[in-house]
């Protein structure tokens, strides 16, 4: 299978995660977490990263990173590779500590990035390593540094504070932020919101508009969503993203064909429906089930039959090819 696409751009924000191979507790040994934290700081300064939050747990880590240049892959290769060399030398090990490539989830700046930061800071609480009232004392977390004089220059708490009610960057402000985390962790409604947000899964987190813009960015890089497996994209979310892509392509096809999607004819195999079904079947990996439901064609087999029939008519086949060609040219013009 082809290596998964990573959409990287200047100003992009990411929730980065990786785990120990076979879920080993790679950071629990003496000096391991400290070495990773130090290497993270070196990577941030080397690649110009702004780190909004991080936590290093026994067998995994989370980072909330903002890029100044599109260099997440390059920087993560250096960060993990450098720490691995130090780790293996320190423990006299060989092999790879991590389970594989890191997961890098695109995150919309602002509210969603703030949620990711809160989620990261609450990791020790969810793991029952620290009680909520003591979470700021967990050593291997950005929360340990925020509000202190020795806070590293590559750590930026601006988003954390702004997305917690506009708190000031003072000791008092950070105390209030810890109180805010306690509320998030104990209020049943807020706990449910964080769980349902699934901030550690998928490939992109944000509003519908943000996700669409990132899909467009992916296509501009020559990777259609129905042909590329995104890193960390789980089965249910993959279905949602593919359906969003098919809907987008259907909209473009309808415009080029002069068909009003909101006023389709009632007949299950009406020419307009058959034309649109054929265009999508020839240009994407759309399923018959989705087509039949979206175009109100009845059974999935109807979409397949309609496609075959319309392709037998030479004039309609040429029209289908024209529409697909113009759709492809439209995508290339945005690249």
Whether residue 105 sits in one domain with residue 60: yes
Number of domains within the chain = 2
The pLDDT, as a whole number, for residue 79 is: 95
Of the residues 184, 205, 226, the one at which a domain ends: 205
- Whole-structure pTM value: 0.69
Triad 325, 327, 333: Cα angle to 5°: 100
In a domain, 153, yes or no: yes
- Is the separation of the CB atoms in 232 and 105 below 8 Å? yes
Query: Do 79 and 201 lie in a common domain?
Result: yes
Residue 221 CA to residue 332 CA, distance in Å, equals: 10
CATH at residue 118: 3.30.70.1290
Domain of residue 301, CATH code: 1.10.1750
- What residue numbers bound the domain in which 180 lies? 13-205
113 and 244 fall within a common domain = no
What pLDDT, in 10s, does the model give residues 196-251? Answer: 788 988 888 999 899 888 877 776 665 444 444 444 455 566 677 778 888 888 99
pLDDT digits (tens, 9 = 90+) for 76-119: 999 999 998 887 766 666 667 787 789 999 999 999 999 999 99
Residues 6+ apart with CB under 8 A from 204: 105, 106, 107, 210, 211, 214, 230
> Does some domain include residue 220?
no
Shared domain check, 152 and 62: yes
Percent of the residues in the chain that have a pLDDT greater than 70, as a whole number: 87
Do 77 and 139 belong to one domain? yes
What is the pLDDT at residue 257?
92
Instruction: Point out the residues of the chain with pLDDT beneath 50.
Output: 1-4, 223-232, 332-335
pLDDT the model gives residue 36: 94
């Amino acid at each position: 299978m082809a290596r998964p696409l990573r959409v990287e751009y200047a100003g992009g924000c990411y929730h980065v995660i990786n785990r120990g191979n076979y879920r080993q507790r790679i950071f629990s040994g003496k000096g391991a977490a400290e070495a990773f934290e130090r290497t993270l700081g070196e990577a941030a300064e080397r690649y110009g990263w702004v780190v909004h939050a991080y936590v290093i747990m026994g067998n995994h880590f989370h980072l909330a990173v903002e890029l100044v240049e599109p260099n997440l892959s390059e920087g993560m290769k250096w960060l993990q590779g450098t720490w691995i060399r130090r780790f293996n030398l320190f423990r006299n090990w060989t092999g790879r500590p991590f389970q594989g490539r890191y997961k890098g989830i695109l995150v919309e700046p602002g509210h969603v990035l703030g949620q990711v930061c809160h989620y990261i800071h609450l990791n020790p609480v969810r793991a029952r390593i620290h009680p909520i009232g003591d979470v700021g004392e967990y050593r291997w977390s950005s929360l340990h540094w925020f509000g202190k004089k020795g806070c590293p220059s590559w750590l930026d708490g601006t988003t954390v504070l702004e997305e917690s009610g506009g708190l000031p960057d003072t000791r008092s402000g950070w105390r209030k932020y810890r109180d805010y985390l306690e509320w998030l962790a104990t209020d049943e409604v807020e706990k449910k919101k964080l769980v349902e947000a699934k901030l550690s899964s998928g490939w992109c987190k944000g509003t519908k508009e943000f996700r669409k813009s990132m899909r467009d960015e992916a296509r501009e890089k020559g990777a259609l969503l129905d042909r590329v497996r995104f890193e960390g994209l789980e089965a249910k979310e993959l279905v949602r993203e593919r359906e969003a892509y098919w809907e987008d392509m259907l909209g473009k096809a309808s415009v080029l064909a002069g068909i009003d999607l909101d006023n389709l004819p009632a007949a299950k195999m009406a020419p307009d429906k058959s034309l649109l079904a054929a265009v999508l079947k020839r240009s994407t990996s759309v399923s018959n089930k989705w087509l039949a439901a979206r175009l109100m064609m009845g059974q999935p087999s109807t979409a397949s039959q309609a496609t075959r029939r319309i392709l037998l008519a030479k004039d309609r086949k040429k029209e289908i090819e024209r529409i697909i060609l113009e759709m492809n040219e439209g995508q290339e013009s945005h690249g």
